[in-house]
Amino acid sequence: MRSASRVIINTVRESDTVCDLGSGALVALLDDTSEAGAVWAADRVRNAHADSPSRDVVTLSAGVACYPSHAMDPEDLLDAARAACSTAKIYGLGRIEVATEGDHF
C-alpha cells in the first residue's frame, strides 16, 4: 500500500491532495480538473504503477467523480467516486470508471 501511495503522490500535481480512506482505498482530490483531466491523471497513475515493484502485489482501479457534474456536496461526491470504483473492480482490476448520474451507495 505504501508503494502504491508513493506512486500516486509522485504522479499527481503538488497542488493535489491524496488521502487514505481505509480498507485499501486512496482518494486523490484534483483541484480545478475536468472529468477528462481526472481520467487522464488516473491513467497516468495506473501506468506509473505498472512500472513499480508493487505491481505484482497491488492492483489499482479508479473511480472518477467530478464536482458539480456528479454531485454538489462532498459526501455525495465521495459516494459517487466509490460507486464508480466499485464498478471498475467489477469489470476487472486496473480499470478506470467515471461516475454516472445517480451513482451512490
Residue 55 grid cell: 505491481
Residue 104 falls inside a structural domain:
no
The parent domain of residue 23 ranges over 2-98
Looking at residue 104, its pLDDT comes to: 54
The total number of structural domains in the chain stands at: 1
Looking at residue 55, its pLDDT comes to: 65
State the CATH number of the domain containing residue 38. 3.30.70.270
Looking at residue 80, its pLDDT comes to: 94
Burial class (CB in 10 A: 0-12, 13-18, 19+), 58: middle
Residue 29 falls inside a structural domain:
yes
What is the per-residue DSSP string for 41-84?
HHHHHHHHHHTSGGGGT----EEE--TTTT-SSHHHHHHHHHHH
Looking at residue 76, its pLDDT comes to: 94
Q: Which amino acid is at 60?
A: L
Per-10-residue mean pLDDT for the chain, 105 residues long? 82 92 86 95 90 74 92 93 92 90 58
Q: What is the pTM assigned to this prediction?
A: 0.85
